[in-house]
Structure 1
Amino acid sequence: MILRRTLLLASTAVAAAASMATLSASARSRGPAGNPGAPRPDLHLAPAREQLTALRRRDTTSRALLEQYLRHIEAANPGLNAVVTLDAEGARAAADAADRHLARTGKTLGALHGLPLTVKDALETKGLRSTSGSPDLAGHIPDRDADAVARLRAAGAVIVGKTNVPVMCQDLQTSNPVFGTTRNPHDDTKTAGGSSGGPAAAVASGMTSLETGSDLAGSLRLPAAYCGVYALRPSGGIVPTRGHIPRPPGWLSTSDMLTIGPIARNADDLAVLLDVLAAPAPAEAAAWRIDLPAPRRGRLADYRIGIWRDDPYCRVDATVRRCLDDVAALLRAAGAAVDDTARPVDLPASDRLFQRLMFATAGATATDEGFAADIEAAEKIPADDPRGLFLHSRTMRHRDWLRANEDREKLRARWADYFTTHDVLITPAVPAPAVDDQTTTPLPDRYITVDGEKRPYFDQTAWLNLAGHVRLPAVVMPAGRTPGGLPLSVQIIGPYLADRTVVDVARHLARQLPAPVLPPAFTA
């Protein structure tokens, strides 16, 4: 089957426009077309689509927009520590080259022509330090871009710098010995999440309009939920992943559960970056292209939407339940068909399978000595012990993995059956709003609190894990706020390859919701 890739640019950016409502009317006014000498002073805070339009029309230059970003990063980043490697001179050279090209040819370099943006430090960037938060890689300067970064550059993006991650992306909070801790832009006592905590905080605070992050166990969506921004975990396999750390530098393969995707402040901007990232791996590009289907429906009223508010396996707190209730009421008021009874899968069984497959893929890079020690330890502990699940999964025989993979395919079939009668499923993103920063607490001693009850630390990702191992697209989007001003979010899961559908539902839903809460650093 030959697939063809098309470009989707949505017609509105209502959610992002609402989030800009606090800016003055004079700051939002546009200078005359073709007059780059007087660019909008706040253009760097506008949606990415608006910035790209201004660049194409030559209402501003890439260099002028970049300088706005650099000033904003200088003002906003010290309190957040989201941008950890800045390449101002390299970005200036790239911006100037983009401006010269447009002036000389009258044509853009690509869909992201001249747009300054940052990139998660887990993705290798040619000539720019790429550490994945690991002291062992503190001086690592790749000689080749990750495939996803190469897609950004080919589309004309200007890479400004790298954003923070936990060590080797292996935590749900963002801190490492190389760069320190990234703070939540809404409350510096709370975590920004992980592993894409730096990217999510940078987008939320206006230091970039778009980010390219990665998601295995919710690494895109968890930070998006805590920081109040949008993130899309694309369908598995539609974005090339080579050059993501971990695996170690130089590896050609990555985890079969890893996906690279966009973070933005509205759904339309997710679509812009999805269209750049979605492509076959370079070695396969000669034979096929990607053509993601259009959204399933044209209006919110036409959608068939499932709602899964809560589950005994991973109870959510009162604020999250109320948020889901409000979303369901808004959808019904808009005319959508809402079903809050059918469940596509069993959450505990799905989550256990997710964990087994995740732990199995993590064993690929273990040393021979370390793997042998894990095998020996696994023989001394039952598989149903929490530690035993990790060890038995990490050291499973290939036959056992094949059986687990067969279970995954059966689970995918159950999801496919569900989506014959439902277009999307809306679930909680996380059990509670952003949890306390615990980066100085040893991992075994960490916990979260849900309605006053202490819960296991890794409960944070149980709802996000629904989509991860079955290759389904999932958007996390802001859908409210707590009385204290922390973002509340929901997750929208769709059928395999229905990425445009989940983005479209997020776009429609945003029009029914209050404007997302803006952190103080956004207008710093």
Structure 2
Amino acid sequence: MTFFRTATEVAADIRRGTLSARELTEQLFARIDASEVNAVVATRRDFALEAASKADTTSGGPLHGVPMTVKDAFAVTGLPTTWGEPAFADAVADRDAAVVERLQDAGAIVVGKSNVHHMLADFGQTANPVYGRTVNPWDHARTPGGSSGGAAAALAAGLSFLEYGSDLAGSIRIPAAYCGVYGLKPTPGTVPLRGFQPPGPPAELVREFPSTVGPLARSAADLRLALRATCDPALAPSRRSRLAEFRVGVVLDDPGCPVTDEVGKVLSDAVDAFARAGVRIREGWPDGVDPADQAEAFGFQVELFFAAQEGRELAGVAEQERRRAESGAAWARHFRDVDVFLCPTVFTTAFRHEDRHRYDDQVFWIAQASLPGLPAVSAPAGGALPVGLQVIGPAHEDDTAITFAELAADVVGGFTAPGE
């Protein structure tokens, strides 16, 4: 189906003239209007249709004519930047975030915005007083994750061809896993954060780590395309180009946050398939990495991030920064012997909206890449409900993780539309 194709495919067809950007954008708006998922919550139709008509008569960049959406938290000219807060409901932006500027320079048409959790304050759900609740396209009784839940749900439901979200504590990777799409948390500092803020004068973050922004998509190749369009500096090449060349570290379960049977089976089957394809597997955590300690240390880093923005001081910062540096060094040593590290994105599939069982433990697996500042892709690995495989790469080698996720789809399958 057209609405579940990749951005790469759509851009190629528009450039060739075999697909009309104007017709596609009109059809996409009709699909958004009819959707019950509540993923795309604000649109700029006149702007988008005019840009699409122009794309049909001109040539452009790698995302030429592709209609896409971005997370509500990014400033987009002519649209409100609400963060799900009623006080910001009428705060219409008069400028674009850096990410939006760069995506449009690459030819993309930003047609609207996807829903977020209120003030981005929940990594497990997406609901707010302005736009209401977003549901999971696989099962409307379940969460799409948060706070980029609208982004992941829009892709899974065929309401957008590319998305951009944010990941402080898993807000890209968790929704990607729950909705069965791809999501990248880049190496911190890779993509500029300008224009990713609540309404108000342009502001500089007092402390950026561990806040990141990155793409969500229906293919790993689309992640690469979006990252190349938005990143600073240029993207380093992948270490490997064939699946059988990869050396892969693996941990699929841990007493600190045991995975469910469903998640465990899907991921175990995936790793078995990789081994049959010639991937060299090395099991176990890196030397010097205690996953429970990493999860606890990352919790402090998140608290430190918010304290810095609020002008509060915390005790023990020097010790915590030492722990973060030691984590980064341990992972760097590990990546001398492996190219990527595989683990669950989260320990369960999407939970029902009212179910908060072991809710905070979702961050355990997220923390393993976040504390040391490593790039990480959540890739769909199969399952009756989507199961996310987290592909962690070496620092500043984002394309190594993306390339593994791209090649892995040939073995375990990539994105599938709900119900297919």
**What is the correspondence of 1:20-419 to structure 2 with a 5 Å cutoff?**
42-75=1-34, 77=35, 79-100=36-57, 102=58, 107-108=59-60, 110-171=61-122, 172-246=124-198, 250-253=202-205, 255-279=208-232, 290-344=233-287, 345-366=289-310, 395-397=313-315, 400-419=316-335
Query: 8 Å contact 2:8–2:63 — kept in the other structure?
Result: no
Per-residue CA distance 1:283-317 (angstroms, 9 max, x = gap): xxxxxxx2332211222111110110111111111
Q: How far apart, CA to CA, are the structure 2 residues paired with 1:462 and 1:503?
A: 22
Q: How far apart, CA to CA, are the structure 2 residues paired with 1:328 and 1:45?
A: 26
Q: Which residue of 1 aligns with 2:392?
A: 493
Which secondary structure state, in structure 2, belongs to the residue aligned with residue 417 of structure 1? helix
Residue 364 (structure 2) pairs with residue 462 (structure 1): yes
Which secondary structure state, in structure 2, belongs to the residue aligned with residue 462 of structure 1? helix
Alpha carbons of 1:251 and 1:193: their partners in 2 closer, same or farther (altered >3 Å)?
A: same
Alpha carbons of 1:348 and 1:155: their partners in 2 closer, same or farther (altered >3 Å)?
A: same
Alpha carbons of 1:342 and 1:459: their partners in 2 closer, same or farther (altered >3 Å)?
A: closer
Offset, 1:143: 1.6
Root mean square deviation, CA, Å: 1.8
Deviates more, 1:66-75 or 1:208-217: 66-75
Q: How far apart, CA to CA, are the structure 2 residues paired with 1:163 and 1:130?
A: 11
* Greater radius of gyration (CA): 1
Which secondary structure state, in structure 2, belongs to the residue aligned with residue 193 of structure 1? coil
Per-residue CA distance 1:288-347 (angstroms, 9 max, x = gap): xx2332211222111110110111111111111112211221111011110113435111
Alpha carbons of 1:143 and 1:514: their partners in 2 closer, same or farther (altered >3 Å)?
A: closer
With structure 1 as the length reference, what TM-score do the two structures score? 0.77
- Tell me how many residue pairs correspond in the alignment: 417
Q: How far apart, CA to CA, are the structure 1 residues paired with 2:229 and 2:237?
A: 16
Residue 374 of structure 2: which of 472, 477, 486 is its match?
Answer: 472
Q: How far apart, CA to CA, are the structure 1 residues paired with 2:401 and 2:134?
A: 29
Q: How far apart, CA to CA, are the structure 1 residues paired with 2:225 and 2:387?
A: 24
Query: 8 Å contact 1:210–1:269 — kept in the other structure?
Result: yes
Per-residue CA distance 1:5-57 (angstroms, 9 max, x = gap): xxxxxxxxxxxxxxxxxxxxxxxxxxxxxxxxxxxxx5343211111111111
Per-residue CA distance 1:144-169 (angstroms, 9 max, x = gap): 21111111122121111110001110
Q: Which residue of 2 aligns with 1:427?
A: 343
Counterpart of 1:493, as a letter, is: I
Residue 409 of structure 2: which of 489, 500, 510 is its match?
Answer: 510
Query: 8 Å contact 1:247–1:365 — kept in the other structure?
Result: no
Alpha carbons of 1:421 and 1:472: their partners in 2 closer, same or farther (altered >3 Å)?
A: same
Q: Which residue of 1 aligns with 2:418?
A: 519
Q: Which residue of 2 aligns with 1:436?
A: 352
Offset, 1:205: 0.8
Alpha carbons of 1:517 and 1:115: their partners in 2 closer, same or farther (altered >3 Å)?
A: closer
Counterpart of 2:217, as a letter, is: A
Q: How far apart, CA to CA, are the structure 1 residues paired with 2:405 and 2:235?
A: 17
Which residues of structure 1 form unaligned runs of 5+? 1-41, 280-289, 372-394, 439-445, 449-454
Query: 8 Å contact 1:243–1:252 — kept in the other structure?
Result: no
With structure 2 as the length reference, what TM-score do the two structures score? 0.95
Per-residue CA distance 1:245-281 (angstroms, 9 max, x = gap): 35965312263211111111111111111111112xx
Counterpart of 1:350, as a letter, is: Q
Counterpart of 1:396, as a letter, is: L
Q: How far apart, CA to CA, are the structure 2 residues paired with 1:274 and 1:169?
A: 22
Alpha carbons of 1:425 and 1:154: their partners in 2 closer, same or farther (altered >3 Å)?
A: same
Which secondary structure state, in structure 2, belongs to the residue aligned with residue 502 of structure 1? helix
Counterpart of 1:225, as a letter, is: A
Offset, 1:407: 2.0
Q: How far apart, CA to CA, are the structure 1 residues paired with 2:199 and 2:91?
A: 14
Per-residue CA distance 1:427-466 (angstroms, 9 max, x = gap): 011111001113xxxxxxx632xxxxxx2x1111210121
Counterpart of 2:314, as a letter, is: M
